[in-house]
Structure 1
Amino acid sequence: MLNISPNRLNRQVDLMPYKSSQKVFHVKHYKHFNRFLLAFSFIGLIVLFLPWTQTISGTGYLTTLNPEHRPQTIQSPIPGRIEKWYVQEGDFVKKGDTILFISEVKNEYFDPNLISRTGDQIRAKSMAVTSYQGKVKALNSQIGALNRERQLKLEQARNKLLQAKLKVKSDSIDLEAAKTNITIAQRQYDRVVQLENEGLKAITDVEEKRLKLQETQAKLISQENTLLASRNEIINASVEINRIQAEYTDKISKAQSDMFTAQSNQFDSEAQVTKLENEYTNYEVRSQMHYIRAPQSGFINKALQAGIGETFKEGDKLVGIMPSEYAMAVETYVEPLDLPLIHIGEKVRIQFDGWPAIIFSGWPNVSYGTYGGKVVAIETFISSNGKYRVLLAPDPEDQPWPKDIRVGSGANTLALLEDVAIWYELWRQLNGFPPNYYQPEENMAQNKTK
């Protein structure tokens, strides 16, 4: 029966009349299985030519689209000591609400009346500036008066010089007249002496002419003295002009020196006033920094500095805050090999942690539980994890993201690429080839237009 020996019994004895033999030795017992294999092969062949969407998978987490909407910490720009808390963890605060009050820890700011006393110093220095300004004006007036007085004195001295010069001319003319007179007197005297020798004139006439000649000589000498005195007056007038110039130059220079000193003191006082005003403004702003306020509306996450009386340095983190209004986004990372395939505006499917999903990577349309995303930013420098960061925003053409997702939760992403046949994708995966390199349709259209 088992046909173990070379003498096969089924060839010598006809077993087909028996029912058991008919059921066992039936020649067509593989018919249904062969049909199944044929149909499965035909279906499989058709499936190989079905479209398959190439994808790039990545992992990331939820974040916000705008940097200002991301969780942040509040720091103090000045060192201080915590005096009072106005909020608790989990409280909602509006922009500008006070979170805590701090006090100073530096000894130069301990004075409670520091601002008012600085204001008093500013007022005192401002009065000093006003005084110096008045002194400068007075000295300017004094310099103007000295210039006018010098001008008048110089005019007076020049007039005297002119008068002396005119007098010299007059005396010179008188001297020439005296010389003419003495010549005439000398001739008359000589003529009378000659006539007296001839006996025509008396001795009295000679003596009279001699007396007149002597008087004329005396007048000549007197006129010479007068001319010399007039010339001396010219010299004196010139000396007086130089003296006036030197005297008023000295007075004006001294007044100008005093004015420049007053101006220097004025500018120095103005600089001190400006410095004090700067310090006053700094003290005012610093006093406002004693109240740590919320930079935007949100929820207090965690107090990073706790207790009362605890000190901290400038820039230390005090409390964490999460903005109440934000636009969600997904921050995912892709391999450097896949980076050239990612373009701005491409579609991405996202699965959020905690949200059930059934994913068919090649058939995104039949996937369940995934949400649409759109590439809005691609990092141009590699991250510390050896991948490139890609930022995804909600796709406005797809269903909205769940409202209960929170910033920081995980997400898996599938970037949708080119549609290829399944046989091509299997061949690519078996050979370890990357997805097809291509350009989006918009970029290709722009290139054709150019």
Structure 2
Amino acid sequence: MLNISDHNKHVDAHLDRFKTVKGLETRPHYKILNRLITLVAILAFITLFLPWTQNISGKGAVTTLKPNQRPQSIQSVISGRIEKWYVQEGDFVKKGDTILFISEIKEDYMDPNLVENTKNQLNAKNQALNSYSSKYGALASQIVSIQSEKNLKLEQAKNKLKQANFKIKSDSIDLVAVKTQLKIANTQFNRVVQLNSEGLKAMTDVEEKRLKQQEVEAKIITQENKLLTTQNELLNAKVELNRIEAEYNEKVAKAESDQFTALSNQYDTEAQVNKLKNQYANYSIRNGMYYIKAAQNGYINRALQAGIGETIKEGTPIATVMPSEYDIAVETYVNPLDLPLISKGAKIRIWFDGWPTIVFSGWPDMSYGTFGGRIVAVEKFISDNGKFRVLIAPDPEEDPWPKQLSIGSGAQTIALLNTVPVWFEIWRTLNGFPPDYYEMNQKGGKTKEKK
């Protein structure tokens, strides 16, 4: 309606004319409530400008800084049967103390004299190896002797060959001399025949010259036979030289063959000796593995195997041991979204389960019961729980961690980032923006960077 008519004007309703309303204004606690609301609004407004430390929270557990200080299981290297326990749960053991004794169950190692028998076999093979070595040396000496004898025989045969050559030359000269004598005898005979025909020489002279001519012809035949005999001796000397060469080469070849056979047997025996040494060492070490010993000082947490007579395989955990000396640390897990804000050396606040704590995540100075730490390692691969593992060690600049902490107890962590006003943190959270953070520089100081 346009309210044009004066008759349509509404009469203003005044609440003051009601007695109840007047009573509310006069009540004292109404004024107190208004003051409280005003005070809370002022405090809330002031709070928006208070400093707030951005942080990343995580949840983890107490662990040790080094892997060899964490609870570990004692395993058997060989399979066997449990014969005797030397400790019980809760006992303190030193490095080298016997925890358990097992007996052999494999038939290849059940001989009680296995190590001694193997040692005897090793000694026998060593003696055989020495024999082959001596045989090889003897054959080497024999080859040297054969070579020396061969050289002497060859020298002797060469001397005979030279003698035959000289004798051939001598016989050849004699043959030439005899042929010369024959020419002279023929000349003399012809001259005597001519003088006889002239009557100057007697017939007896002719017969004498003929006889001498025949003697010289006989000498020629004899000398030729002698020359042929000498030539045969030369051929025999050459044949003997070749025979000696072939004979002694055969002897040397046979001796070298025997030498190589001895050398081959020596190498084969040497391989068997090395194999037996390996077996002897393995058997000796295996005998020491029947007694399972502690690898370091610690406490027996739990026996994982039962009583006497139980058979275990190699690699089977037998008991768990907690080292007595360790450097405490905390492993926590952060979301992948927060991983870029985590860096090695960053400061962390930690509070432990069962330890009295009052925590204000944005105001670490007001927190009570928290302890300082520094990040020493950040896992580069995501864990099975979908988060990244971070390892934290005590901060040497802060108060030491409680000595009563046990490995495996729960712990919660807060990684401290940049300090901003509360209104900025609320605005950032509502908009889903990442927080600001400090990045450690090389000098150990902080460099502010906005992410």
TM-score for both structures, normalised by structure 1: 0.92
The separation in 1 between residues aligned to 2:200 and 2:259, in whole angstroms, is 88
CA shift for structure 1 position 130 = 1.2
CA shift for structure 1 position 351 = 1.0
Q: Secondary structure at the match of 2:261?
A: helix
Q: Residues 175 and 106 (structure 1 numbering): CA distance in 2 closer, same or farther, change over 3 Å?
A: same
Instruction: Identify unmatched segments of 5+ residues in structure 2.
Output: 1-10
Question: Contact between 1:82 and 1:310, CA under 8 Å: does it hold in 2?
Answer: yes
1:78 partner letter: I
What's the counterpart of residue 250 of structure 1?
A: 250
The separation in 2 between residues aligned to 1:104 and 1:433, in whole angstroms, is 66
2:435 partner letter: P
What's the counterpart of residue 80 of structure 1?
A: 80
Q: Residues 420 and 76 (structure 1 numbering): CA distance in 2 closer, same or farther, change over 3 Å?
A: same
The separation in 1 between residues aligned to 2:380 and 2:358, in whole angstroms, is 33
Superposed, 1:150-299 pairs within 5 Å as 150-299=150-299
The separation in 1 between residues aligned to 2:413 and 2:15, in whole angstroms, is 68
What's the counterpart of residue 91 of structure 1?
A: 91
2:79 partner letter: P
What's the counterpart of residue 128 of structure 1?
A: 128
CA shift for structure 1 position 137 = 1.3
The separation in 2 between residues aligned to 1:447 and 1:231, in whole angstroms, is 115
The separation in 2 between residues aligned to 1:153 and 1:167, in whole angstroms, is 21
What's the counterpart of residue 338 of structure 2?
A: 338
2:76 partner letter: S
How many residues of Structure 1 are paired with residues of Structure 2 in the alignment? Answer: 438
CA shift for structure 1 position 265 = 1.4
**Can you list the C-alpha shifts for 1:248-270, whole angstroms capped at 9, x where unaligned?**
11111111111111111111111
Question: Contact between 2:193 and 2:206, CA under 8 Å: does it hold in 1?
Answer: yes
CA shift for structure 1 position 36 = 4.9
What's the counterpart of residue 59 of structure 1?
A: 59
Q: Residues 163 and 21 (structure 1 numbering): CA distance in 2 closer, same or farther, change over 3 Å?
A: closer
What's the counterpart of residue 3 of structure 2?
A: none
Q: Secondary structure at the match of 2:166?
A: helix
What's the counterpart of residue 107 of structure 1?
A: 107
2:54 partner letter: Q
Q: CA RMSD in A?
A: 2.6
Instruction: Identify unmatched segments of 5+ residues in structure 1.
Output: none
What's the counterpart of residue 426 of structure 2?
A: 426
Question: Contact between 1:340 and 1:437, CA under 8 Å: does it hold in 2?
Answer: no
Between stretches 34-43 and 325-334, larger displacement belongs to: 34-43
Q: Secondary structure at the match of 2:302?
A: strand
Q: State the percentage of identical aligned residues.
A: 61
What's the counterpart of residue 137 of structure 2?
A: 137
Q: Secondary structure at the match of 2:337?
A: coil
Q: Secondary structure at the match of 2:397?
A: coil
CA shift for structure 1 position 135 = 1.3
2:400 partner letter: P
What's the counterpart of residue 400 of structure 1?
A: 400
CA shift for structure 1 position 177 = 1.0
CA shift for structure 1 position 275 = 0.6
The separation in 2 between residues aligned to 1:446 and 1:46, in whole angstroms, is 28
Q: Residues 29 and 130 (structure 1 numbering): CA distance in 2 closer, same or farther, change over 3 Å?
A: closer
Q: Residues 123 and 10 (structure 1 numbering): CA distance in 2 closer, same or farther, change over 3 Å?
A: closer
Question: Contact between 2:372 and 2:394, CA under 8 Å: does it hold in 1?
Answer: yes
What's the counterpart of residue 412 of structure 1?
A: 412
Q: Residues 179 and 342 (structure 1 numbering): CA distance in 2 closer, same or farther, change over 3 Å?
A: same
